[in-house]
Amino acid sequence: MQQKYLQVLGVPLNVSEEELKKAFRQKAKLLHPDVNSSENAHEQFVLLTEAYEYMLHYIQNKHVRTHQKTATQWDEDRQRAAREKARQMAKMQYEEFINSDYYKTMVNVLKLGSLIFFGISFIIFSLLSLFLLSEEAYEPIIFTGMLSILSIVFFMLKLKEGDKMSLKDIYKSLIVIGLSTPFQAFFYLALNIFLFIKFSTKVIVSDSVLQILYLSSVLIGVLVFWVFKLIKTSKPHIMALGIMPLIVSGIFMINSLNVSNIKPETHYFRYIVDYYENSLISDKNDDDLIALENDAYKNYSFVRFFHSIDYEEVAGVRYYIGEGIFGIRVIKHYEFVGFDEYFRKRDR
């Protein structure tokens, strides 16, 4: 039966939810009984809507259906529910169907989804352009600048496309988008990246410990869902890769809310010390991962990561480190140390 539904909709088995909605919208306009002159127009539209309802539910719930009911029971229940929904849609007049909440919400979701996509694209390309501008990279600036302009054009075209949406339409569409798997995946990904950069990279925790913590959080998420089945969700990948790492980042965030006993800690670059004190020539580490004297924080990559250091002006770095709520040391801020200070310290 599933193969038949796919043929009716004209989509492959691995169709995405957005592609499914687009396919249904296009065919629904052509096959509605009010515009379809075929003798079996009613049956065609019922079958189309039935196929859409079935496949939509199949995509949205593919992770939970097998351990709630047998595959046969699930198919029968979904066919029955989809068929009833299809008959209700077929009874509507064409204009009524086009203006129904069912159809309008689907169209608005696709439209608003496109707006969000192009809006995010514009922001990303604009930020990328600003980042490259600081690096004085001439050709990449032109390239990313053109991409930013194209994003603006696409965004404005999408904004003018079709009928205007009311606040109610936008609200309904945002709910549908917010509950969708792609949006939740993007939300958790963006939030995790933000918290990781903002807080996790500022704690004095070794690379190996950070790796163990985040990998363990993912494994725990998988175990919680698949082994113990304590959390009832149809999105185990969201649970494992989204929420559990978020807990780790959340702990670091809470730890950083109240930092006390802040003290300065100065370290000079290893190549500076080697050259002026040991008459050795060593690598400046132009890859942004600096090497400190006496291999300080050797196993703490984020402590030693700095972007675009001017080695002609800077001889070291001064960290201001304190203790967080949970006793984990945190870098509150830092400042670079010039050669004048280094030479004064050396000549004492």
List, for residues 142-155, the tens digit of each pLDDT value: 555 565 556 556 65
For residue 43, report the phi and psi dihedrals to the nearest 5 degrees.
Answer: -65, -40
Indicate whether 67 pLDDT > 80.
no
Of how many residues is the chain composed?
A: 348
3-class SS of residue 251: helix
Q: Calculate helix-pair angle for 270-278, 339-346, nearest 10 degrees.
A: 40
**Domains of the chain from N-terminus onward:** 2-99 (1.10.287.110), 103-179 (no CATH), 181-256 (no CATH), 260-346 (no CATH)
Indicate whether 291 pLDDT > 60.
yes
Q: Tell which wins on pLDDT, 59 or 103.
A: 59
Could you tell me the two tokens for 69?
């009911």
pLDDT of res. 230: 53
Nearest to 340 by CA among 306, 304, 315: 315
What lies within 8 Å, CB to CB, of 202 at 6+ separation is 252, 256, 302, 330, 331, 332
203: confidence class by pLDDT, cuts 50, 70, 90 = very high
HSE toward the beta carbon, residue 207, CA cutoff 13 A: 9
In this structure, are residues 21 and 105 in contact, taking their beta carbons and an 8 Å threshold? no
Nearest to 316 by CA among 297, 325, 329, 330: 297
Alpha-carbon separation of residue 137 from 189, 273, 287 (angstroms): 29, 32, 17
- The arithmetic mean of pLDDT across residues 91-110, rounded, is 53
Query: What is d(CA 112, CA 29) in angstroms, rounded to the nearest whole number?
Result: 20
Indicate whether 319 pLDDT > 90.
yes
